Structure 1
Amino acid sequence: MGRSAALARRFFDRLEPVHAVTYFAPEARAALDSLGYPGFWMGYFASRSAPLGIVAPEVVAAAFYNFTTERVAKALPAAWEMADPATLLAVRSESAVDALRRCGVTDSESTRLAGELAAKAARSAPLDGRPLYAANRALPWPEEPLATLWHAVTLLREQRGDGHIAVLVSEGISGRECNVLHAAAGRVPREMIMRSRDYDDEQWGGYVEQLRARGWLDGHDALTAVGRDVKQRIEDRTDELALGALAALTDDEITTLFRVLTPITRQVVAAGDVPAATPMGLNRDDLDDDNAHLH
C-alpha cells in the first residue's frame, strides 16, 4: 500500500515549528540584532538567503517567491556589509540551538534519533528544481545533535517550499497572487500577510481583482467553488511532492520519527515563540498524536 500524501502534511506540521525558531525566538532576534541589523527583515532576508551566498536581490526574490524584488533590495546587499554569509550561517544555527534548549529540548537519545532520521530523509530528498533546499544541502553537516536536528528540518522545510513554488508556477499563480489566495482561504489573516509581505490597500486590491477575473474570488473576496478547488489542488499537489522527502525512510523509521519528533514539536510550540497564525498555515490540532498512522 502506498503512503498517503496526508503523511507529508502531518510531517510538515511537526518539522516546521522546530525550524521556525530561526525567525521568532528571542535568541535569534538578539543574535541578528548584535550584528547591527535594524529591525526584523534585514536579518530575515540575510540569514535565510545566506546558503545561496551573495546574490542579487532578484535571485532571492525568485527563490522566496512572494516578496517583491524591491522589498528584498531594502535588505540586500546592504546586509552583507555587516556580516558575510558564513557568519550568518553560524549565527542562525547557534541561536536556533540556544532557542531549542530553552524550549526544553535536550541532547537526549530521542533527540539524537530524531536528528538522525530527519537527516537521513533530508540527505536524499529530491533535489531537482529546488534551489533553496540544494543550497542548504550543500552546507557542511553539523555534529552537535540539536544542530543536526535543526539543520535537517531546515532542509526538509525548504525542500517542501521549493516544491510548493513549483506547483504555484505550474498553476500560473504569481507570488503576490498566492498571498491573496492564501488569505482568502483562511490560512493566514489578511492584515498579517499585507504587513509582512509589504502591500498597501491599492496593491492588494489589484491582486484581488486579478483573482476575481479568474473566477476564484467572489464579490466579498471569499473563495468561489472554483477557487476552493484550485487552492485544494495546490495543497494536495504540494503534499504529494513533499512525500518524496520521506522515501529514504522505511515504514518503521517513519513511525519512529513521528514518535520522537512530535514531543519535540510540542515543546517548541508550548514555549510560545512561534505564533499560532503564520504564513506557513500550520495545524496544531494533531500534535497530541505521535503516531504516523501509516496503515
Structure 2
Amino acid sequence: MESNARRLWKLLEPIHAVGYFSPEPIALLKEAGYRGYWMGYFAARSAPLGTVPAEVIHAVFYNFAFSHVSRALPDAWTFAPPETAHEARRTGAVAALRRHLGPLADSDDLTRAASLASRAALSAPAEGRALYAALRSLPVSEDPLTLLWDAATLLREHRGDGHVATLLAAGIGGRESHVFHALANGTSPAVYATSRNIHETEWDSLVAGLRSRGLVTDDGASLTEAGLETKARIESQTDALAATAYAALEPAEVDELITLLRPLTKAVVASGEIPNQSPMGLDLDDATR
C-alpha cells in the first residue's frame, strides 16, 4: 500500500508542474527577457536562491549537467532579476491552473485544499533543504488558487531536497539517478535526452558505472537484485522524509486533502500539457487513481 506522502506527491506534482510546461509561464518568462526555454527554467526555479553562481544551482538541482546549467546562469540575470523570474513563473502557473480547472478554481473545495496544503507546506522542517528553505522565505498569497500552487511547489521542493539526500546517502550520483530510475521502471532513455541532455555516449558510461558496482545486469538492460533493493530503500526513505511535512495535519485532514486534490489534479492531467512520464518518475496515469 502506498504511503500518504507518495499519494500526495502524485496529486500535487501536476499542479506544481504547470509552471514548467503550460504556455502561460513559458510566455511570461520569454516576455521578461529570458532567452529560450532552459534559461527561463533555470532562472525561475533557482530564483528564490538569488543570484548565486551556476555551481550552487548545479549542486542543489543535483541531476543536471553543469554545462547545461552554466549556459543559462548567471547570464539570465543580465536580462531580468530573480524576483521577475519567480513572479513570471508563479503568475503564469496560476493562470494555467485557472484555465485547466474552470469553475473548480473558485470552489470551496479548492479553498479548503489550499488551506490544508499550505499548513503542511509552511510547517515542514527546513533543515538540510536549501531549495525548500529559499522558497519558504518568500511571501505566500491569500488568493486560494495562488496559495495552492505555492503550497504544491513548496511541498515538491521539500520532497526533492530529501530525495537528493537519499541519493547521496546511497551513493547514486545525480546523472546516475536518471539511468537508475529508467532501468527500474522502463522509462525510455529518450526522455532524458530531451529533458536532461543525456545522450547515448553518456548514458552508456553511466550504465557501465552502475554495472561495475553490481547494481545493473551484465546486459545493461535492468537492475540487479542489489540494484532493486537500493532503489526501494531510496524511494522508501524519500517518502519518510517527505512525510514530515504533513505532521501538522491530523490523519483525517490528510485523508481530506487527498480527496479534495483528486478532481483538481485530474483536470490538470486531462489538459495533456504535462508529460506523462517525468524525469523524476511520476506516471500521470497513476496520479488520480
TM-score by length of 1: 0.93
What amino acid is aligned across from residue 111 of structure 1 in structure 2? Answer: L
Q: Give 1:148 shift.
A: 0.5
Q: Does 1:69 align with 2:55?
A: no
Q: Aligned residue for 1:243?
A: 243
Q: Contact 2:11–2:288 at 8 Å: present in 1 too?
A: no
Q: Aligned residue for 2:183?
A: 184
Q: Give 1:287 shift.
A: 4.4
Calculate the aligned-residue CA RMSD, in Å.
1.4
Deviations 1:80-138 (A, max 9, x none): 11110111111111101100011024121111111100000011111110001000000
Moved more, 197-206 or 43-52: 197-206
- Which runs of structure 1 show a deviation greater than 6 angstroms over 4 or more consecutive aligned residues? none
Moved more, 36-45 or 114-123: 36-45
- Output the CA distance in 2 between the equivalents of 1:283 and 1:192: 13
Aligned residue among 31, 34, 39 for 1:37: 34
- Output the CA distance in 2 between the equivalents of 1:118 and 1:214: 40
Q: Aligned residue for 1:229?
A: 229
For residue 106 of structure 1, give the secondary structure of its aligned residue in structure 2.
Answer: helix
Where does the alignment leave 5 or more consecutive residues of structure 2 unmatched?
none
- Output the CA distance in 1 between the equivalents of 2:275 and 2:21: 8
Q: Contact 2:135–2:154 at 8 Å: present in 1 too?
A: yes
**Mapping of residues 131-150 of structure 1, within 5 Å:** 131-150=130-149
- Output the CA distance in 1 between the equivalents of 2:53 and 2:28: 24
Cα distance change of structure 1 residues 209 and 88 upon mapping to structure 2, 3 Å threshold: same
For residue 239 of structure 1, give the secondary structure of its aligned residue in structure 2.
Answer: helix
Q: Aligned residue for 2:258?
A: 258
- Output the CA distance in 2 between the equivalents of 1:188 and 1:128: 32
Where does the alignment leave 5 or more consecutive residues of structure 1 unmatched?
290-295
Structure with a larger share of its residues in helix? 2
Q: Give 1:224 shift.
A: 1.1
Q: Contact 1:46–1:85 at 8 Å: present in 2 too?
A: yes
Moved more, 160-169 or 213-222: 213-222
Q: Give 1:264 shift.
A: 0.5
Q: Aligned residue for 1:17?
A: 14
**Mapping of residues 159-198 of structure 1, within 5 Å:** 159-186=158-185, 188-198=187-197
Q: Does 1:278 align with 2:278?
A: yes
Deviations 1:230-286 (A, max 9, x none): 111111111111111111000121121112111110110011110111112114455
For residue 48 of structure 2, give the secondary structure of its aligned residue in structure 1.
Answer: helix
Moved more, 195-204 or 7-16: 195-204
TM-score by length of 2: 0.95
Cα distance change of structure 1 residues 242 and 131 upon mapping to structure 2, 3 Å threshold: same
Aligned residues: 286
Q: Give 1:74 shift.
A: 0.1
Aligned residue among 3, 23, 33 for 1:6: 3
Q: Contact 1:5–1:239 at 8 Å: present in 2 too?
A: no
Deviations 1:160-179 (A, max 9, x none): 00000000111111111111
- Output the CA distance in 1 between the equivalents of 2:64 and 2:34: 19
Moved more, 4-13 or 232-241: 4-13
